[in-house]
């Protein structure tokens, strides 16, 4: 079995999150936080691109979620880095300094797989409210007005 080379990434890197329909969603690494369970603070958008596209940094109004995320898919290259830009000014949206001051006590780190499911649900590729807590994905949004309009699952219909 061939061992993969770890992808290098850093604050400001723009990366792509693959979706179940073959498209990609744009994200940006905002901060690497070793003391927060070795996670990365990442911004996620609803901007869709195809592989090989030139990708610009996300604009503030495009960001729907900022989360502490496990770094496994960044490290493996499954979330490929496709560019670099100055880190967006995210302080009005996310209190990283406050979390640091509390030594990250109570901070929640989302698994990268959950983020993929969240973004798939944003495009109707997975159910939005099919979680133990039906409002789970709503809680990942920066605000309720960021909830995508379509949230209609396009998968197979459940049989009765």
pLDDT digits (tens, 9 = 90+) for 18-70: 999 999 999 999 999 998 999 999 999 999 998 888 899 899 999 999 999 99
150: confidence class by pLDDT, cuts 50, 70, 90: low
State the chain's mean pLDDT as an integer: 90
Q: Which helix (H) or strand (E) holds 70?
A: strand 63-70
Residue 157's pLDDT is 44
pTM score of the predicted model: 0.89
- What tens digit of pLDDT does each residue of 88-107 get? 889 888 999 999 999 999 89
Residue 160's pLDDT is 34
Cα-based distances in Å from 13 to 58, 88, 97, 135, 142:
11, 11, 20, 30, 21
Helices (H), ranges, the chain = 72-76, 96-101, 112-122
Taking the alpha carbons of 76, 31, 16, 132 in that order, is the dihedral positive or negative? positive
Q: Is the pLDDT confidence value at 2 over 80?
A: no
Q: What is the DSSP letter of 155?
A: S
Place of tokens 């219909």: 157
């Amino acid at each position: 079995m061939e061992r993969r080379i770890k992808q290098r990434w850093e604050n400001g890197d723009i990366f792509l999150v693959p979706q179940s329909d073959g498209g990609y969603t744009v994200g940006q690494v905002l901060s690497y936080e070793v003391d927060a369970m070795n996670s990365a603070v990442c911004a996620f958008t609803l901007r869709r691109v195809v592989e090989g596209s030139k990708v610009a940094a996300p604009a503030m109004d495009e960001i729907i979620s900022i989360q502490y995320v496990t770094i496994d898919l960044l490290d493996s290259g499954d979330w490929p880095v496709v560019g670099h830009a100055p880190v967006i000014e995210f302080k009005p949206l996310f209190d990283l300094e406050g979390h640091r001051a509390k030594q990250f006590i109570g901070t929640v780190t989302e698994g990268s797989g959950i983020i993929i499911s969240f973004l798939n649900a944003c495009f109707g590729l997975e159910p939005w409210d099919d979680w133990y807590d039906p409002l789970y994905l709503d809680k990942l949004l920066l605000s309720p007005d960021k909830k995508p309009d379509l949230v209609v699952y396009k998968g197979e219909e459940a049989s009765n």
